[in-house]
Chains A and B, each alone.
Chain A
Amino acid sequence: MKKVHPWSRREFLISSGLAAAAASLPLGSLRAQAPYTRYEMTSPDGLRMLEGYKTAVGRLLAKVPEDPLNWYRLTLIHTLDCPHGNWWFLPWHRGYTGYVEQILRAHSDMPDFALPYWDWTANPEVSPSFFGSDNALDPTSSNQGYIPTLAEFQSRFEGPIAMLYGSMMAAQLEQLTFRNMETEAKLWDAINGGLFFPSSEARCLSSANPTFATPPGGCSCAGTPKAVSIETLNSALSPDDFITFGSGIATQHSENGTFQGVLEDQPHNLVHNCTGGFMGDFMSPVDPLFFMHHSNIERLWTVWTAKQEAAEPPLPTLPEGQELIDWSAEPFLFYVNASGQTLSTTAGDFSTVAGTPFDYVYTPGSPLTQADRRKAKSRSFNDLSDVPFGMLRATAKEDGPELLARVTIDPQGRQKGKSFHVLLNPPEGTDPKDSSSPHHVATLAFFGGGNKHGHKTTFLVPISGALRRLKAADRLKSIRKAPQLFVAVEDHQENTVGKAQKVKAVISNH
């Protein structure tokens, strides 16, 4: 991938004092958290994200049409390049939603913004967050910057679309010949032929009738409740190979593939068509619901990939052999980044989330596994002192639940050559370096980074091991009154160990 901004994944190392806890925890929880979380959109965090989304969409709608970050200009990327009905459906939309997410983040006033997902299996309806005349997430509200008529769209975008075509590379124009859009006149034919919807028809589901099962008259929702049902979802996730799961082979991404997989042809297609208006055709990203819908499709790809990896022996997560080579090489040439620059990428750049510059994880959604259900029951506390002592005692049992602390470390200058000892109520005179002390929880260190100024980073630290060792040493009672985490900084270059300082840390059980 041609990266316009150099991007590096910071790696973290947690050492010593953790061995016991590490053995009983999935590897993922020992890594620092991915910086971005895509939440279910009706959860408290999801609703918070939708507020940032609303701000960002409003700002992108207000941009001039000459700006590649204008909301309609971002939509046109989809109109000009989206694959449907073939095996590039999934990677193309991963790239598209990922770059648009970065653009939205830059306009949301939320540094942790990530696209929440629409779990239509759990919530087969448009959430109230997407309705209202003063709401930038409602495309029927023309006072928020949505263009009310096709005539107005034509007059505002004629010039910018001509400029866009004038600036295209030969390789982009070649791609457009595959979908009969290689001239601006042909794109306009498509737009005028039914891709644009006036305000009153911009979405079919309404605040009075938002559900798939009881839509307003005139919406195309037949079959949609079944298409988003848990049975269909489980079927969609069941295939053992990528192509059956993610739609059939084609020779280029604007061509119809040999068939559509169930994820695409049931929930994906029917939610588009039932929501209606813009969502029913290739200008669908005009409706902000598009990104919540595709965030869920993207999530389900990660769920399927995890299923394949967990199989014994593991099943393939991508096409194989020559097919993988052909699939990976497919050019995606129309994405723009947050600086408005066009990127030259290929499908292979989006074959795994880890390989992209997006770095997000999902909170669990449908279909929930047993482990997810346990997690859903998990609780979190603003600080260790808020955790009931009974829960600490339960955690200290051999088969007790896991308690995780989110410890934020600010290296305050150079991060190299420093260790951060996390301690639980250390008695006077405890040596912070002494990992054999039952009060010693973990030692955190940054990996690499040279002498550069380090950034504040949050580590997920299991504290169950320390609680078990305190119990074994019969010292659990000593933390009963005011359980508290401390951090002491050890500087290996200066050969000093600072005094242990109290830290606040959000605690959650799993």
Chain B
Amino acid sequence: MSRTIIPLFLLLSACALQSFSGEKPLVTTTEEPAALRFELLPERTPNNNEALWLEVRVGALPNASTLILRDLEGETIGSVSPYGKTSRQAGGGYLVPLPASMQHEKITLRVELVLAHNEVRRPTEDELEEVRLVYLAVSP
């Protein structure tokens, strides 16, 4: 896959998180009652033939649950809902496109786990392991 992964990491063990380099804090998270809110700082604006997406790495997710990624206004950006029990238990990486309006500047996301019967809670650090920004070569 032709893409660059920026070393922006979200490790959900603390409220304030650092990039791998440990220099300046690039990512911060806030725990809301039913969601996890965090910010990602893109390294640069994507070029003309590039798009900035998320790669969301999850662990095992509860049966019939869906991880929903929203913007600050609450609009759904994308979801992770593994198909089949095997994938749901195995976890893995899921590409989620960011809308055109979110390709620049700071990206603020709220992530919530919607369970069966629409109960909503914050995902645990085992459920949402990592979110990274990826630059992809794209064409319309």
Contacts and interface: CB of A to CB of B under 8 A. Distances in A.
Interface of A: 84-85, 179, 193-195, 217-218, 220, 222-227, 231-232, 234-236, 238-241, 243-244, 248, 256-262, 265-266, 268-270, 272-273, 280-282, 307, 311, 315
A258 B99 CA distance: 23
B74 to A, nearest CB: 12
Given A223-B76, A241-B1, A248-B1, A84 B87 contact: yes
11 contacts: A222-B114, A223-B68, A223-B79, A238-B139, A240-B138, A241-B2, A241-B137, A248-B1, A269-B82, A269-B83, A270-B79
A425 B31 CA distance: 78
Given A238-B139, A262-B97, A269 B117 contact: no
Contacts of A232: 78, 97
B24 interface: no
B95 interface: yes
Given A220-B116, A240-B137, A311-B139, A270 B81 contact: yes
Contacts of B34: none
Contacts of B136: 238-240, 244
Contact of A265 (B76, B80, B85, B114): B80
A219 B92 CA distance: 23
Nearest to B77: A226
A234 B66 contact: no
Q: How large is the interface on B (under 10, 10 to 19, 20 to 34, 35 or more residues)?
A: 35 or more
Nearest to B80: A265
A258 B78 contact: no
A365 to B, nearest CB: 17
A198 B50 CA distance: 47
Nearest to A282: B84
A315 B6 CA distance: 25
Contact of A243 (B1, B53, B82, B83): B1
A423 to B, nearest CB: 44
A234 B140 CA distance: 8
B79 A222 contact: yes
Contacts of B138: 238-240
Given A226-B76, A259-B92, A282 B86 contact: yes
Nearest to B112: A222
A95 B136 CA distance: 29
User: Which 4 A-B pairs give the minimum distances between C-beta atoms?
Assistant: A223-B79, A259-B93, A235-B97, A238-B138
A222 B68 contact: yes
B117 A217 contact: yes
A235 B51 contact: yes
Given A238-B140, A258-B93, A220 B64 contact: yes
B90 interface: yes
Contacts of A227: 78-79
B50 to A, nearest CB: 10
A222 B118 contact: yes
B120 to A, nearest CB: 9
B9 interface: no
A268 B83 contact: yes
Given A84-B84, A244-B1, A270-B79, A265 B95 contact: yes
Contact of B83 (A222, A231, A240, A272): A272
Contacts of A281: 83-85
B51 A238 contact: yes
B127 to A, nearest CB: 15
Given A244-B136, A258-B93, A273 B81 contact: yes
B65 interface: yes
Contacts of A265: 80, 94-96
Nearest to A261: B95
B92 A260 contact: yes
Given A193-B85, A232-B78, A270-B81, 17 more contacts: A84-B87, A220-B81, A238-B97, A240-B136, A241-B1, A244-B137, A256-B87, A259-B92, A259-B93, A259-B94, A262-B95, A269-B83, A270-B66, A273-B83, A280-B83, A281-B84, A282-B84
A295 B86 CA distance: 23
B39 interface: no
A259 B92 CA distance: 6
Contacts of A239: 136-138
A232 B77 CA distance: 9
Nearest to A367: B140
Contacts of B76: 223, 225-226
Contacts of A244: 1-3, 95, 136-137
Contacts of B99: 231
Interface string B120-140: 000000000000000011111
Interface string B58-73: 0000001110100000
Contacts of A226: 76-79
Nearest to A226: B76
Given A222-B118, A259-B55, A266 B64 contact: no
Contacts of B137: 239-241, 244
A218 B116 contact: yes
Contacts of B86: 84, 179, 282
**Residue from A220, A231, A262, A281 with most neighbouring chain B CB atoms (10 Å):** A220
A17 to B, nearest CB: 38
A238 B2 CA distance: 13
Nearest to A319: B1
B139 A266 contact: no
Given A261-B95, A266-B79, A222 B66 contact: yes
Nearest to A255: B90
Contacts of B117: 217-218
Contacts of B94: 259-260, 265
Interface in B82-116: 82-87, 90, 92-97, 99, 114, 116
